[in-house]
Amino acid sequence: MNEPTPPFIDRLANGAFLGLMALARLLPYPRRIPAVGWFFSRVIAPVAGWRRRIRDNLALARPDLSAAEVEALVRAVPDNAGRSLAEIYSGEEFTDRIRASAVIEGPGLAALEAAFDSHRPVILACAHFGNYDAMRATLVARGWPVGALYRPMNNKAFNSHYVPAITAIAEPLFPRGRAGLAAMLRFLKGGGWLALGFDQYDHHGAELSFFDLPTSTVLTPAELAIRNDALLLPINGIRQPDGLSFRVHVGTPVEHGEPRAMMQALNDDLEALIRRHMDQWFWIHRRWK
């Protein structure tokens, strides 16, 4: 049975994005990534309403920031988002650069290496921070078995090329849904490492604290870690000052215990990281409702 044709507005938005990426690929990589970041910051963000949402979130979470600091973040956050998309759609240019230059460090690195040696499952708790795919590419370059759960895009026209783009960086990938969940659990039980996001509002989650504000947080990473005796730790790809390279930071492993306490530890770790790199978290999400 043929898939229904996506709505016109979705096809229009998808065509505009593909056109932007085609133009961007005419530029050499070191110019392409900042150029797309600039376009997202100066064109996409005001049209899409991102600037207002960033200001609203910062007013809640960081009311101590000055007006100048807020306006700097209003421009820097979409810039990082644009750079990340340009990197994903740069294919081998991106992954080759990651393999050649990415650094991995942090207090949890030794635990990761031990998990690989013992074939222990791992839950990689990650966020919409820096470039999530830089982290995946870095771990896969070491020969580590990294899979990820992803949510298919609502825009089916966009999704048709987005999934192949992120699959080319590292696989396996598991779509949310019954079939994807079953494959994901088999992968994890076989000693795989599963990257799971935890930094978006979850309607069915637990009310925990983030930036001293209550917000609903998914418990799945902690529950899966307990159920599968998996190592659980935070991990993020931090964009470096040159805007092109990354340092992958492996945080302290979270001890198994009560799932809410485990996820609060991850919230606290992420908050500390964001405070050090305010421009790299996706402040566009509606994290507090």
Q: pLDDT tens, 45-92?
A: 999 999 999 999 999 999 999 999 999 999 999 999 999 999 999 999
Q: Is residue 97 part of a domain?
A: yes
For residue 96, tell me if it sits in a domain.
Answer: yes
**Vertex 168: Cα angle to 191 and 273 (nearest 5):** 65
**287: in domain:** no
Beta bridge partners of 170: none
Query: Which runs of consecutive H residues, i.e. helices, occur in 142-197?
Result: 156-169, 178-189
Number of domains making up the chain: 1
pLDDT band at 208 (very low <50, low <70, confident <90, very high): very high
Say if residues 17 and 158 touch (Cβ distance below 8 Å).
Answer: yes
Whether 165 is in a domain gets the answer: yes
Is the predicted pLDDT of residue 153 greater than 90, yes or no?
no
Output the average pLDDT for the chain.
94
Which of residues 165 and 29 earns the better pLDDT score?
Answer: 29
pLDDT at 1: 47
Q: What is the DSSP letter of 200?
A: S
Helix (H, G, I), strand (E, B) or coil at 84: helix
d(CA 183, CA 169): 19
User: What angle (nearest 5°) sits at the alpha carbon of residue 129, between those of residues 268 and 265?
Assistant: 15
pLDDT at 156: 86
Angle between helix 8-24 and helix 29-39 axes, rounded to 10 deg: 140
Q: Report which of 96, 79, 242, 238 is spatially closest to residue 169, judged by C-alpha positions.
A: 96
Whether residue 191 lies inside any domain: the answer is yes
- Mean pLDDT (whole number) for 265-269: 98
* Residue 288 belongs to some domain of the structure: no
Determine if the pTM surpasses 0.85: yes
Domain that holds residue 42: 8-280
Average of per-residue pLDDT across 1-22: 80
- pLDDT single digits (tens) 167-192: 888 889 998 888 788 999 999 999 99
Is 95 within a domain? yes
Question: Which of 168, 122, 112 lies closest to 142, judged by CA?
Answer: 112
Residue 3 banded pLDDT, cuts 50, 70, 90: low
Share of the chain above pLDDT 90, in %: 80
User: Residue 3 domain-assigned?
Assistant: no
